Amino acid sequence: MYHRLSDGPFDPEEGDYVLPPSLFEVQARGLVAAGRPVVALGALAGGCYEDGAVALTFDDGCDSDATVAGPLLLSLGVPAAFFVNPALAGREGRASWDALRALAAQGFAIGSHGLDHTLLDGLGPVELERQLAGSRREIEERLGRTVDALSLPGGTGGARALRAARAAGYRLVLGSRPGVLRGPAGDGILPRVAMRRTRGLEGFWAAVERRPLFMLRLRARHALTLAGRRLLGTRGYARLREKRLGAGRP
Ligand SMILES: [Zn+2]
């Protein structure tokens, strides 16, 4: 799970999730050089992928999807999925509809990351439906193709969001719980591993190779995050985290 790729100054809320393009390039070229299979999201649904394969996803619809990640991955022949917030497309730092159309035409998957990145915990049914079904509808209308994957904003929403996503027609729902997928995607929320600037290349390979201690640490950290959210509420926790750590949303 990637977010923005940039060397420039970035929003403190994005924090550690912003990777220098050079680091991403080393990672992507490293996958190809190592002969590691990189598969499209669609392969996950049917479980048609080799053991040890990876899928690359990008959240938030950042402009670097189109200016950095897309061109590099296209040149390497590597698939990826970009999860966007339709209400924010074309705003400062976000990819425009034209850029997203170009990515889709190049064969990349475009999924929904909710309408405007509102965190889904505690939303009423009408707003939840608007965020999930509404965002799907808008992306499909704008791009003229089917959208069947959702990445939960901030990894929020849990089982309720999963049910609403199914009702809205999504086939794949991706979360932020660190983990490894084995076999077909099934009916649950798919695990992912967030790429972080401070974990560098070492963290990248630890995730790709699913090193047990690394994965255990990620899961422990994620469990702490969830406990913090339960204690303070999702928004209270996000505010505290920004203040204390200057680090971003998962
Ligand atoms: Zn996000």
Taking only the tens of pLDDT, the chain with its 250 residues reads 999 999 987 777 788 999 999 999 999 999 999 999 999 998 988 888 999 999 999 999 999 999 999 999 999 999 999 999 999 999 999 999 999 999 999 999 999 999 999 999 999 999 999 999 999 999 999 999 999 999 999 999 999 999 999 999 999 999 999 999 988 888 899 999 999 999 999 999 999 999 999 999 999 999 998 888 888 776 776 776 666 544 444 4
Query: For residue 13, which of 77, 52, 48, 62 has the smallest C-alpha distance?
Result: 62
**Residues 52, 55, 59, 65, Cα dihedral to 10°:** 130
Ligand 1 centroid from CA 235, angstroms = 14
Ligand 1 centroid from CA 117, angstroms = 6
Token pair listed for 25: 């390039």
Q: Is 59 helix (H, G, I), strand (E, B) or coil?
A: strand
Ligand 1 centroid from CA 144, angstroms = 23
- List residues, by chain if needed, whose CB lies under 5 Å from ion ligand 1: 59-60
Ligand 1 centroid from CA 73, angstroms = 21
> Which amino acid does the sequence have at 35?
G
What is the maximum span of the chain, computed from C-alpha positions, in angstroms?
A: 47
